[in-house]
Chains A and B, each alone.
Chain A
């Protein structure tokens, strides 16, 4: 089955700096890579996703890159703000096989004012 590794497990950045979270996956059949943000006590919320036919996707201050050859993808948050503090999860799935997500272990991001 699929295995997703996520690093780092914790990340502390100064407000205004950039944050980068990296994930690797094992199953070459995976073709959908979402990122979720989870605030304390809340449900995971989808913030951005990318499919294997695209190398990069951007939405305002967040961007995701995908390297299919190396089987890794990354989340980039620029100009971080205190409200970006949360736990972020990467995930991978094969859409045609039920879109069952395999999640990374999560990254706790703390943005210091």
Chain B
């Protein structure tokens, strides 16, 4: 597996609380992505980054923000968690040059009660 870690791996939080998930890579890849996975929906892109301090929205970005201050770290923040944000969150990385494959981290299971 590519050098990608996510923390925490599991988290239970209450509605209305802020939550930050961390993705850390050791591959020096330029692109980083956050996806959420829900039954019947496959994986859906939340936000992505194409470099330090360069981020953009994905398909389901409402209620989420991201930051990337270093090449190796990409943070996903839920400012005020809701039950609809209960999901498994995957980080992925990709290089700028071919072959462009995206490699996924181990995932974070988040439960909002």
Contact A103 B100 (CB under 8 A): no
Interface of B is mostly: strand
Contact A1 B104 (CB under 8 A): no
Chain B residues with CB under 8 A of A1: 59
Interface residues of B (CB under 8 A from A): 1, 31, 33, 35, 40-45, 48, 50, 56, 58-59, 90, 92, 94, 99-107
Is A95 within 8 A of B48, CB to CB? Answer: no
A31-48: contact bitstring with B at CB < 8 Å (1 yes, 0 no)?
A: 010101000001111100
Which A-chain residue is minimally distant from B91 (CB atoms)? A43
- Once A43-B107, A46-B102 are accepted as A-B contacts, the answer to whether A98 and B31 lie under 8 Å apart by CB is yes
Scoring A residues 75 to 113 as 1 if CB is less than 8 Å from chain B, else 0, what string do you get?
000000000000001010001001111111110000000
Cβ-defined contact, B33 with A100, below 8 A: yes
* Set of chain B residues within 8 Å of A104, measured between Cβ atoms: 42
Report how far A2 CA is from B9 CA in the complex, Å: 30
Whether A43 touches B104, Cβ cut-off 8 Å, given contacts A100-B33, A100-B48, is: yes
